[in-house]
Amino acid sequence: MLDKLSSSLKDTLKKITRLVFIDERAINELVKELQRALLQADVNVQLVFNLTKKIKERALNEKPLKSITQREFIINIVYEELTNFLGKEKSEIIIERKKPFKIMMVGLYGSGKTTTIGKLSKYYSKRNYKVATLGLDVHRPAAPEQLEQLSEQVKVKCFTEKKEKNPLKVYKKFESEYKNYDILIIDTAGRDALSSDLVKEIELLNKEINPDEKILVISADIGQAAQAQAEQFHKSCNISSVIVTKMDGTAKAGGALSACAVTGAKIKFIGIGEKVDALETFNPPGFVSRLLGMGDIEALLEKAKEAISEEQAKDLGNKFLKGEFNLIDLYEQMEAMSKMGPISKVLEMVPGFSQIKLPKDALQVQEGKLKKWRFILDSLTKKELEDPELIDSSRIERIAKGAGVPTSEVRDLLKQYKQAKKLMKMMKGSPDKMMKKFKFPGMK
């Protein structure tokens, strides 16, 4: 999906990470390459221009906070602006508990309405909703059968009436049965273009059925034309969500996605194949980080936030700088790290971090060890905590006994502390370099 865009974006960012200095020329070059990549993905020229202008302005005018490198700073700007560009945050269809919650699918001929009904049925069934489908495409002869087959495949009830040519009558025929289902997904007919008869039919169904959610289905291969389509449908029948299908089969998907986003229509899902499970929720931040090959930054930042507050991080950073770092700080830091998961995984998720080489075991600690260390710290005197150099062999014996752990455990903790301290000394006089090594992902 959007492989070409993804690889050109990645290449562009890789170039940035290889530079030692990022000057105006480098930023201009970056902007030019971003433009080229986005235009190739069929994003509207004006939109591309606005986007890259913003990126350039921010890159030139904003100052990176002390704790991030300039490269990380630039990559983050690109990430943030692309995310804004695609609709900022994930928005979901809220399924009300109202037997049934009615979802009506609309869209042009062949856009993927019926297929997507199969996918949605599976998606919601898996989440424990009792789903039924209703075929109101009375125009295309094979439509009811297609819906029946799909429904059978995903094991949901399907209501169709092959002989009836009036969609409203089909709806009425089964009306007493809908209350047995949590969600009713309604298929409607497509047309070649948004014609007056299609509008009339949708308006009528809309009035009589009163759906809770009206989903416009748009095929990604129409590229920028998605904008006009989304606007037209929105005007005539007030759609509440968009699903962009066939994201897998076109290099133009950037056009459709950005064009929908610009109308304010919320893209809730994307279709990425013909099979019934080829459906993904659309989450701009996750989508962009995947495009840029940055892993799931968002998830990481969330985790980091939980693990350590910015204040704490800053505090600790300052202590490092002043050389006041003691055993309690070490413990807190390790605890924060362990909450985020194995450090190698954590670093993978942070852009630019994969290049930084941390001493392998300098900060790595397992859960079980942490618990023992807590006991050890509890057995230390205040003096010892503040000045671990005091701790000699006889003190180690005493501490181990008090904590109920072998002396080797106490030595381990001290070793870890010394390593961290050594690292700190090594980098004294070069705070930037040091901050880089000790930066916490949650720190801005």
Ligand X SMILES: Nc1nc2c(ncn2[C@@H]2O[C@H](COP(=O)(O)OP(=O)(O)OP(=O)(O)O)[C@@H](O)[C@H]2O)c(=O)[nH]1
Site residues (vs ligand X, CB under 6 A)? 107, 109-115, 137, 140, 143, 190, 217, 245-246, 248-249, 271-274, 278
**Which CB atom, from 280 or from 335, has the smaller least distance to ligand X?**
280
- Residue 182 binding: pick among Mg ion, ligand X, none (C-beta 5-8 Å cut-off by kind): none
- Residue 144 binding: pick among Mg ion, ligand X, none (C-beta 5-8 Å cut-off by kind): none
Do residues 53 and 35 touch, judged by C-beta distance below 8 A?
A: no
CA distance 13 to 294: 10
Find the length of the chain. Answer: 444
User: To the nearest whole angstrom, how small is the minimum distance from the Cβ of residue 108 to ligand X?
Assistant: 7
Residues 64-103 that bind Mg ion (CB under 5 A): none
CA distance 437 to 42: 40
Residues 302-341 that bind Mg ion (CB under 5 A): none
Provide DSSP, 272-306: -SSSTT-EEE--HHHHHHHHTT---HHHHHHHHHH
- Residue 112 binding: pick among Mg ion, ligand X, none (C-beta 5-8 Å cut-off by kind): ligand X
Tokens 């710290």 correspond to 377
**Which CB atom, from 278 or from 308, has the smaller least distance to ligand X?**
278
Quickly count: other Cβ atoms within 10 Å of residue 434's Cβ: 19
Query: Between the CA atoms of 147, 210, 233 and 184, what dihedral angle is there, to the nearest 10 degrees?
Result: -20
Quickly count: other Cβ atoms within 10 Å of residue 264's Cβ: 10
Strand partners, 244: 218, 270
DSSP three-state, residue 271: strand
User: To the nearest whole angstrom, how small is the minimum distance from the Cβ of residue 196 to ligand X?
Assistant: 17
State residue 267 phi and psi, 5-degree precision: -80, 120
CA distance 5 to 14: 14
Quickly count: other Cβ atoms within 10 Å of residue 65's Cβ: 10
Question: Of 80-88, 113-121, 123-131, 204-212, which segment contacts Mg ion by CB under 5 A?
Answer: 113-121
**Which CB atom, from 102 or from 246, has the smaller least distance to ligand X?**
246
CA distance 289 to 83: 9
- Residue 107 binding: pick among ligand X, Mg ion, none (C-beta 5-8 Å cut-off by kind): ligand X
CA distance 23 to 35: 19
User: To the nearest whole angstrom, how small is the minimum distance from the Cβ of residue 249 to Mg ion?
Assistant: 18
Residue 115 touching Mg ion (CB under 5 A)? no
User: To the nearest whole angstrom, how small is the minimum distance from the Cβ of residue 118 to ligand X?
Assistant: 8
**Which CB atom, from 64 or from 110, has the smaller least distance to ligand X?**
110
- Residue 278 binding: pick among ligand X, Mg ion, none (C-beta 5-8 Å cut-off by kind): ligand X
CA distance 35 to 148: 45
- Residue 293 binding: pick among Mg ion, ligand X, none (C-beta 5-8 Å cut-off by kind): none
End-to-end CA distance of the chain: 32
What is the distance of C-alpha 160 from the center of its chain? 38
Residue nearest ligand X (C-beta atom): 190
User: To the nearest whole angstrom, how small is the minimum distance from the Cβ of residue 136 to ligand X?
Assistant: 11
User: To the nearest whole angstrom, how small is the minimum distance from the Cβ of residue 194 to Mg ion?
Assistant: 16
Cβ-Cβ contacts under 8 Å for 203 (sequence gap 6 or more): 236, 237
User: To the nearest whole angstrom, how small is the minimum distance from the Cβ of residue 167 to ligand X?
Assistant: 13
- Residue 53 binding: pick among Mg ion, ligand X, none (C-beta 5-8 Å cut-off by kind): none
Do residues 86 and 262 touch, judged by C-beta distance below 8 A?
A: no
Question: Of 53-61, 106-114, 171-179, 326-334, which segment contacts Mg ion by CB under 5 A?
Answer: 106-114
**Which CB atom, from 223 or from 388, has the smaller least distance to ligand X?**
223
CA distance 362 to 317: 16
Question: Of 111-119, 177-185, 281-289, 329-337, which segment contacts Mg ion by CB under 5 A?
Answer: 111-119
**Which CB atom, from 113 or from 268, has the smaller least distance to Mg ion?**
113
Residue 114 touching Mg ion (CB under 5 A)? yes
E strand spans, 160-314:
183-187, 213-219, 241-245, 267-271, 279-281
- Residue 174 binding: pick among ligand X, Mg ion, none (C-beta 5-8 Å cut-off by kind): none
- Residue 178 binding: pick among Mg ion, ligand X, none (C-beta 5-8 Å cut-off by kind): none
- Residue 183 binding: pick among ligand X, Mg ion, none (C-beta 5-8 Å cut-off by kind): none
DSSP 265: P
**Which CB atom, from 56 or from 113, has the smaller least distance to Mg ion?**
113
**Which CB atom, from 215 or from 427, has the smaller least distance to ligand X?**
215
**Which CB atom, from 272 or from 316, has the smaller least distance to ligand X?**
272
**Which CB atom, from 218 or from 365, has the smaller least distance to ligand X?**
218
List of residues contacting Mg ion (CB under 5 A): 113-114
